[in-house]
């Protein structure tokens, strides 16, 4: 059974124990206390959904999410979509908040203050990760051995990101990487360390990054092992606009 609802209908779903797909769109703007209350309401509904495979929570304002570890469906959920701001004193992400067997994760508009990679890279089953507008910091670090099964990574709308460090042995089977609208990233990370990367797409880069990926550019040695490289629509800096 698949269900997608607005927040007003959530109390009516307590009897649905065979849900496999559950999506909720919270149309009201929540403050801190409201988000905590709504997460408790959601948990009261989901406590009987032992077959849940896909969970999507989208909200304006603060995201009502505190982790699935105390739900019976924790081991079953494979795909998780979370859209909305994570206010730090409501729910700071930790590894045990996420389902053990999670294979796909999408975080949108989370506005996380701290680098999420040290947490997310420990999700052993994760194959697809999308971060869009989910981090407001300047540096990302992927550690050795991190993301052992990640195959696809998309970073989008990280408007403050200017440095990304990839350690040797990180993301060992990553095949596809998309960098979209990260216009303060002027230099590519050390992608030559990602040995199995087959496809790189860069959308809306800074002019400096665009130039660095051209023939004889400073980033060419990082991408020459990648069979398919696409770069388009460089993002003009203020000094380029007349």
3-class DSSP assignment, residue 36 = helix
Q: What range defines the domain where residue 175 resides?
A: 2-240
pLDDT at residue 19 in the model: 80
pLDDT of 240 > 70? The answer is: no
pLDDT of 187 > 70? The answer is: yes
Q: Smallest Cα–Cα separation from 168: which of 142, 134, 144, 138? A: 144
Q: Smallest Cα–Cα separation from 231: which of 221, 239, 208? A: 208
Q: Give the dihedral sign, CA 180/183/188/189.
A: negative
pLDDT at residue 239 in the model: 39
Q: Angle at CA 213, nearest 5°, toward 212 and 217?
A: 50
pLDDT at residue 22 in the model: 87
Tokens matching residue 147: 């993301």
The tally of domains found in the chain comes to: 1
In degrees and rounded to multiples of 5, residue 184 shows phi and psi of -100, 0
Q: Calculate Rg over the CA atoms of the chain.
A: 19
Query: pTM for this one?
Result: 0.89
pLDDT of 89 > 70? The answer is: no
Tokens matching residue 31: 């403050």
| Mean pLDDT (whole number) for 76-87 | 91
The CATH number covering residue 47 comes to 3.80.10.10
* Type and span of the H or E element at 154: strand 152-156
- The pLDDT tens digits for 188-229 are 999 999 999 999 999 999 999 999 999 889 999 999 999 999
pLDDT at residue 213 in the model: 94
- The pLDDT tens digits for 118-145 are 999 999 999 999 999 999 999 999 999 9
- The pLDDT tens digits for 157-169 are 999 999 999 999 9
| Mean pLDDT (whole number) for 51-61 | 89
Other beta carbons within 10 angstroms of residue 75's beta carbon come to: 12
Which stretches within 11-125 are classed as H helix?
Answer: 32-46, 117-120
Q: Which of 49-53, 59-63, 67-71, 105-109 has the lowest average pLDDT?
A: 59-63
């Amino acid at each position: 059974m698949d269900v997608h609802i607005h927040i007003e209908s959530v109390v009516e779903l307590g009897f649905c124990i065979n849900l496999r797909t559950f999506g909720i769109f919270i149309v009201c703007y929540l403050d801190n206390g409201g988000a905590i209350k709504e997460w408790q309401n959601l948990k009261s509904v989901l406590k009987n959904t032992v077959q849940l495979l896909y969970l999507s929570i989208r909200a304006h304002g603060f995201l009502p999410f505190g982790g699935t570890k105390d739900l019976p469906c924790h081991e079953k959920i494979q795909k998780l979509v979370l859209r909305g701001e994570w206010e730090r004193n409501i729910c700071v992400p930790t590894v045990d908040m996420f389902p053990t067997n999670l294979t796909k994760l999408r975080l949108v508009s989370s506005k996380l203050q701290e680098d999420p990679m040290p947490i997310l890279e420990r999700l052993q089953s994760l194959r697809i990760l999308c971060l869009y507008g989910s981090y407001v910091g300047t540096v990302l670090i992927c550690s050795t051995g991190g993301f052992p099964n990640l195959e696809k990574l998309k970073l989008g709308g990280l408007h403050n990101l200017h440095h990304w460090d990839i350690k040797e042995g990180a993301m060992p089977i990553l095949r596809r990487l998309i960098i979209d609208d990260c216009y303060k990233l002027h230099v590519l990370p050390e992608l030559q360390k990602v040995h199995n990367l087959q496809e790189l797409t860069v959308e809306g880069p800074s002019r400096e990054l665009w130039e660095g990926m051209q023939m004889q550019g400073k980033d060419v040695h990082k991408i020459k092992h990648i069979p398919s490289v696409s770069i388009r629509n460089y993002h003009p800096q203020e000094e380029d606009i007349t």
